[in-house]
Structures are given as C-alpha cells and as structure tokens.
Amino acid sequence: MPGKFITLEGTEGAGKTTVIRHLRDGLLAQGYDVVLTREPGGTPLAEELRALLLTPRDESVDADAELLMVFAARAQHMNQLIKPALARGAWVLCDRFTDSTFAYQGGGRGLSWQSIEDLEMLVQKGFSPDLTLWLDIEPSIGLGRASRRSAADRIEQETISFFERARSAFQKRFDANPERFARIEAAADEESVKAAAMLALGRLHG
C-alpha cells in the first residue's frame, strides 16, 4: 500500500521539531516505515539550497529569487526522496511544505498567491500532503522560544509583523483546506501538544 505524507507547519518556535520526533517514535513503535525530513532540504542539493536561503548575508535577497529557490529545493526533495518513500509504503513526516511558502513568501513577503499557485502546479502537479498539522502560536510567544535555541537565521531575523502576516496566511490556508488540516494549539504544554498531534494522525488509519 502507498504510504502517507504528513506535514507540520507553523511559525517560528511552534514546537514542530519536538512534535515531529514524537510522531516518528510513535509510528515506529507501531511498526511503520517512517521517513523524517524537512523543507527546505531533505536531499544534498536541497540542503545546499536551504543554506543559500537561510544564511544571513549583506546582499538583499530578492523575494522572487527566494521563492524560486524554495520551489527548486522542493522539486528535488519531492521527486528524489518523498515520492520514492511513499511508493515503497513509508510514512513521510515533513517539517514544512508548500503551506509555509504561502505563509512566508505569500503572507510575509507579500508575493502574489497566484504566482505561488502557478509554481505549485508546475512543480507538484497536484501532489499534496495527506494531512497537515498546523501548530498555531502567537508569534511573540514563538519568537521568544526560538530566540533561546540558537542564533537567528535570515528568516528568523524578520520583524514580528512578518510573522503575524505569515500566521494569518496559515489561517487562510487552514480555512480553505479544512479536510486536510488539523489545527493544534501550540502554546499548550508539551505533552498536550504531542497528544493532540498523535490523535490527529488517527484520521489516516483504517
């Protein structure tokens, strides 16, 4: 049987890394073949593009150039890692996917949603997650968490208004795709968030 493709989304500090590892461990314990990956990234080429995208630099990065690099990384990741894993029956857990592009480049950067949709169709050709867990959190809370874990990358250095726009874009995506999304209150305690995420996976069983 084909595998399942689950994505985790949210603004900075929402706890995606903790939750995705918990889901992986839970699925492995149930005997599933599990692939844990991330965007941008997931393959050597896509990870190189990730470094180009996220490394702080003196040169201003054009928003369209950023968008195209995101989709270039996605094309490589999807075709070289995600689809082959699904074809062999694995469950693929991915930290971010196209919803983050709508949120960050669409909401945060203010790029045309139509342009993003056009690239989505060109690259993905209708391919999308089976389930998306949206870890929703107030940007001020999430950024406070993120500031304690490591030095900020180029995106994390954006203003809080950028992340507020990104959160609003996630809400728009959620409203348009309620059958695919599960919204999780990420400001709750860690165990509650983990439990809610595992419960949401129940949609895909049977």
**Type of residue numbered 70:** V
What does the pLDDT read at residue 57?
85
Q: Quick one: pLDDT band at residue 132, thresholds 50, 70, 90?
A: very high
Cβ atoms of residues 138 and 185 within 8 Å: no
What does the pLDDT read at residue 150?
64
What does the pLDDT read at residue 2?
79
With pLDDT > 90 as the criterion, what percentage of the chain qualifies? 75
Cβ atoms of residues 202 and 131 within 8 Å: no
